[in-house]
């Protein structure tokens, strides 16, 4: 479990550092945009964490591009790319930046909620 925590921590830290207050790009962002990007990182990190937990407890991945049992590295790489794409879209279209971050937050939150529901349902079936 320590390795998993390190990998998830690295994902969150890398995203936060890339977008933190010390980054010259972040100056162009409003506090609200930074908060929504942070929420997106948190929601999508939670998706990865709950996915890994589910995979380690007998569930299968539902994303067709990932296969039934993707590696932790593959999941983190996918989310890092996804968050990078969201950041890039915000750079290309600053007037839609907050909307992009709200959508990616919603997708991550939905995926996390779905994972938790599957985990709970699966644990109920075992009893």
* Tens-binned pLDDT, residue by residue, of the chain (127 aa): 556 656 666 556 555 555 554 454 555 789 999 999 999 999 999 999 999 999 999 999 988 888 889 999 999 999 999 999 999 999 999 999 999 999 999 999 999 999 999 999 987 766 5
Give CA–CA dist 84/23, Å, rounded: 15
Domain ranges of the chain: 2-20+31-126
For residues 80-97, one letter each, b for 16 or more C-beta atoms within 10 angstroms of the residue's C-beta and e for the rest, the string is bebbeebbebbeeeeeeb
Could you tell me the two tokens for 38? 């942070």
Helices (H), the chain: 2-19, 31-55, 72-92, 97-126
For residue 70, give the DSSP letter: -
Using alpha carbons, select from 68, 65, 67, 16 the residue that is nearest to residue 44: 16
Give CA–CA dist 47/44, Å, rounded: 5
Report the predicted TM-score, pTM, of the whole model to 2 decimal places: 0.78
């Amino acid at each position: 479990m320590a390795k998993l925590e390190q990998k998830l921590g690295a994902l969150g830290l890398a995203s936060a550092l890339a977008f933190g207050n010390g980054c010259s790009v972040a100056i162009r962002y409003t506090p609200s945009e930074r908060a929504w990007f942070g929420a997106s990182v948190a929601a999508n990190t939670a998706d990865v964490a709950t996915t890994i937990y589910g995979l380690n407890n007998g569930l299968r991945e539902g994303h067709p591009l990932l296969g039934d049992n993707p590696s932790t590295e593959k999941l983190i790489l996918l989310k890092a790319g996804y968050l990078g794409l969201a950041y890039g879209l915000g750079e290309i279209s600053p007037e839609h930046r907050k909307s992009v971050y709200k959508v990616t937050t919603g997708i991550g939150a939905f995926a996390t909620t779905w994972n938790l529901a599957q985990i709970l349902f699966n644990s109920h079936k075992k009893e």
